[in-house]
Amino acid sequence: MTVHEIRQLGDPVLRTPAETVTTFDRDLRRLIDDMFESMYAAEGVGLAAPQIGVGLRIFVFDCAGRKGHVVNPELTVDDVESVVDEEGCLSVLGHYEPTPRAVGATVRGVDRLGRPVEVRGRAHLARCLQHETDHLNGTLYIDHLPKDVRRKIMSGLR
């Protein structure tokens, strides 16, 4: 397994919507294993493929007592209720900001073998599912913040 460098804010891959996975082979299984290794090496709780420079719709997570991966995820927000809690990102190092997210969320997709997968989460796991799915759409958590806070983070990273 390989630990990949985590791409940082400013890398275009983080702002590019990821492509649907169509081939379920040994390379995909190796990529998912590498993503877990990279996430653990960075001490994260979730990692999307674009964060290691791969433009595919895959994320891994080990969050709130649940561990798994989802290929080609589709997110559904279960609750209209939202909560503001501190959020950070391996691709925006050193910044944690109060970020609004839905209290409950479900992701449906497939696993590394193409079998259906459903992950339901509340609280911290729901936040993780929303955060990682955002990455696959070219969105970062800072996009959910007020413009002045976003500008402050961006100027601090230059």
Active site residues: 132
CA-CA distances (angstroms) from residue 56 to 9, 52, 65, 146? Answer: 18, 10, 25, 29
Q: How far apart are CA 58 and CA 53, in angstroms?
A: 12
Question: What pairing do the DSSP bridges indicate for beta strands 104-110 and 116-122?
Answer: antiparallel
Q: What is the DSSP letter of 24?
A: -
3-state SS assignment for residue 103: coil
> In residues, how long is the chain?
158
| Residue 60: Cβ-neighbour burial (10 angstroms; 0-12, 13-18, 19+) | buried
Torsions phi, psi for 19 (to 5 deg): -85, 150
